[in-house]
Amino acid sequence: MRDLKQKELRVHTDAGRLLRPLLIVEGQRLVIGKHHLKTLKSMWRQESAAASLCWNYLLQQGVVELLSTEEEEGAMIALNQDDLEKSRTDPKYGGSGIIYTHLEIDASYLLGLGATMIPFLEHNQASRNLYQADKHCKQAIGFYTTNFWGRSDSSAHHLFYPQKPIVTTCVADNFLKKPELNNGQVAIVSIQCLAYNQEDSIVMNQASIDRGLFRSVNHVNLSL
């Protein structure tokens, strides 16, 4: 009796699943073309809600696809167009059977917004980047919003004198575009051996504390 291969079809419809936007690749080439880009430019200039319309246009044209975590297991994703070029021209890559199905929209999307805000991220340890990205998103105490009077938050924590960082990233400057929403202060740090050193101990300058260094306030709305 011949063995029949059983194929399992899984359909996830939960609203909370993570979806990753990727460019579709067919024949080791991008599906998106110059005519798509030309249409996007015209839509962006004419429509008021151009961002959502342009995104829906890309989905309808089949050039962008949203993959869940389950679908990513069966996808071959190229980091940039150089990978696609090598797979087409370089016999070393073409002969190894690498067939890409998708392409990253941008390499910075692999890290997320929190991690791409870290300057010189490639010079840090991976564990430090994960720690900073987690604290940056959840425990930053700068100005997280500008419409304080129109909000009803049960609690909030604000830094009194947030400062613009000396070094920023391309994502912060070109995509976030919120220079007024700073979340820290520029501190002068000296690493040296003192009598009070113990593991990660910190000796603060009293004059800096008196002038308001790291001073913050915690608002609690008791009416809610």
Give catalytic residue positions. 200
Which residues contact residue 10 at a Cβ distance below 8 angstroms, ignoring those fewer than 6 apart? 70
Name the 3-class secondary structure at 70. Answer: helix
Closest CA to 72 of 106, 116, 32, 110: 110
Cα pseudo-dihedral 55, 60, 64, 65, rounded to 10 = 110
Which residues contact residue 146 at a Cβ distance below 8 angstroms, ignoring those fewer than 6 apart? 180, 181
Q: Would you report the helix, strand and coil content of the chain in percent, each value rounded to 5?
A: 35, 15, 50
Closest CA to 162 of 184, 186, 178: 184
